[in-house]
Amino acid sequence: MYLLEWKSAPDKLPLIVTGARQVGKTESILKFAKENYESLAYVNFAENPLFSRIVGDGYSPDKIVRNMSLVNPAFNFVPGKTLIFFDEIQACPEITSSLKFFKLDGRYDVICSGSLLGVQLSRIESISVGYQTIRKMTSLDFEEFLWACGHGEETAEDMRQHVKAMSPFSENELDAYESLFFDYMVVGGMPAVISSYLARRNFQGIPELQNGLIGGYRSDVRKYAGGLDQERIIGVMDSIAPELGKENKKFVFSHVRKGGRFADYFGCIEWLRDAGLVTPSRLLNFPEIPLRGNTVPNAFKVYFFDTGLLLSLLDPESGEDFRVRKNFGVYKGAVFENSVAECLSKSGLDLYYYKRPDSTLELDFVLRTKDGIVPVEVKSKDGNAYSLREAIANPKYGDISEGIKITRKNISYCGKVLTLPHFCAFFIKDWLRER
């Protein structure tokens, strides 16, 4: 949908698509090109290093097009009907210097893509400032997972309308949607894993595929991160699941390595965030608006970008306990909290949380509305949301008037608390727009 909107924009800029490896960037763009252009000139800098020479004579479109045709004479450049797709540009980031000139020339549409671009983004942005559009792509969200499983748009729309109206589901609907969301948590949103799941309609081979993807990310760290940071970054990635499983889910660097300090490891969190692999949630000084800028500098939780892959970061026994036995209390509900964080961030919401200094009140997520904030508590099964109700009732939290509890219950609204089943987390943004 976004690519179609980009193509039809009257004054579109060259597009750069970022995101973690294997989220489907290349396949999506190639499919879009086949359906919407007469001609495609596809350049993969990692697959064919000869293409890195196409900028050797400068950055004008004529020179680059000429050099591209020298490497691949089959390219057909038709003005106004050709998409030039530069893929794996992390292997040739200087190609982005040409984007300004392609925009000014105007004969060809240009899309760039690659993995780990986030770690080079400031450099890329400065090269062709004002002459590019940058879009981040994630693994499939829950709505897209439903489409992949053969459900029409009406399924997600039904969930969305129930949340907006705060009306409960029927028992059959609740059971069916909970089952679909459990499958989504186990499988995750990575296209290769989903394809395997759809081919078999079971979880056979899923852990092995996920472990392979995690291994690929570790290889990327060793390839693209420098010096001692390689081991620190991998240590942080491997610590995400255990840290979420602790009673206090704040990420503690000394748990990664004895004596570890914020100054030693925060750059590792930033590296993983920029690579698209993690989503930090910032600790608020106080639950009040504005949220941005109202945070504690060195305190945050860290969530993995794909809950299915998070299961691969658990110890094997715990991962199996969740997948096979449906032990929803695994790691004190870390899997469910990560899944809610994933749903919220993929729907475009920034993540914040609050923990009172005396540790007697903790709000898992704090979301912004037009005039206030809405705290969210996540329960793996069910339970009393003491912190949520106290925050609503306490007059010193003047920006809070209602809250959300996410648990294994049907939709209800009672005592200014909206209760939602886990699978509705992706549709919270629509509910917030009405507040």
**Gyration radius of the chain over CA positions:** 23
More confident residue, 223 or 108: 108
Percentage of the chain beyond pLDDT 70 is: 96
Note the pLDDT tens digit of each residue in 144-197.
999 999 999 999 999 999 999 999 999 999 999 999 999 999 999 999 999 999
Confidence check: pLDDT of 228 > 70 = no
Quote the pLDDT of residue 34: 97
Mean pLDDT confidence for 344-369: 93
What phi and psi, each to the nearest 5 degrees, are found at residue 367?
-110, 150
Beta strands 278-284 and 133-136 are unpaired
Which two structure tokens, joined as six digits, stand for 191? Answer: 């296209």
Which residues contact residue 262 at a Cβ distance below 8 angstroms, ignoring those fewer than 6 apart? Answer: 253, 298
SS3 letters across the chain: CHHHHHHHCCCCCCEEEECCCCCCHHHHHHHHHHHHCCEEEEEECCCCHHHHHHHCCCCCHHHHHHHHHHHCCCCCCCCCCEEEEEECHHHCHHHHHHHHHHHHHCCCEEEEECCCHHHHHHHHHHHCCCCCEEEECCCCCHHHHHHHCCCCHHHHHHHHHHHHHCCCCCHHHHHHHHHHHHHHHHHCCCHHHHHHHHHHCCCCCHHHHHHHHHHHHHHHHHHHCCCCHHHHHHHHHHHHHHHHCCCCCCCCHHHCCCCCCHHHHHHHHHHHHHCCCEEEEEEECCCCCCCCCCEEEEEEEEEECCHHHHHHHCCHHHHHHHHHHCCCCHHHHHHHHHHHHHHHHHCCCCCEEEECCCCCCEECEEEECCCCEEEEEECCCCCCCHHHHHHHHCCCCCCECCEEEEECCCCEEECCEEEEEHHHHHHHHHHHHCC
Confidence check: pLDDT of 222 > 60 = yes
Confidence check: pLDDT of 117 > 70 = no
**pLDDT bracket for residue 334 (50, 70, 90):** confident
Quote the pLDDT of residue 7: 96
Instruction: Give the integer Cα–Cα distance in Å for 142 and 48.
Output: 35
**What sign does the CA torsion over 404, 405, 411, 415 have?**
negative
**pLDDT bracket for residue 121 (50, 70, 90):** low
Partners of 400 in beta bridges: 373
**pLDDT bracket for residue 384 (50, 70, 90):** confident
Mean pLDDT confidence for 106-127: 77
Note the pLDDT tens digit of each residue in 302-316.
999 999 999 988 888
Quote the pLDDT of residue 257: 75
Q: Which one-letter amino acid corresponds to residue 379?
A: K
More confident residue, 74 or 381: 74
Quote the pLDDT of residue 124: 63
Mean pLDDT over the full length of the chain: 90
Instruction: Give the integer Cα–Cα distance in Å for 302 and 89.
Output: 28
Instruction: Kindly report the pTM of this predicted structure.
Output: 0.90
**pLDDT bracket for residue 325 (50, 70, 90):** confident
More confident residue, 203 or 190: 190
Mean pLDDT confidence for 6-29: 93
**pLDDT bracket for residue 336 (50, 70, 90):** very high
Which residues contact residue 187 at a Cβ distance below 8 angstroms, ignoring those fewer than 6 apart? Answer: 145, 193, 194, 197, 203, 206, 308
Mean pLDDT confidence for 86-99: 91
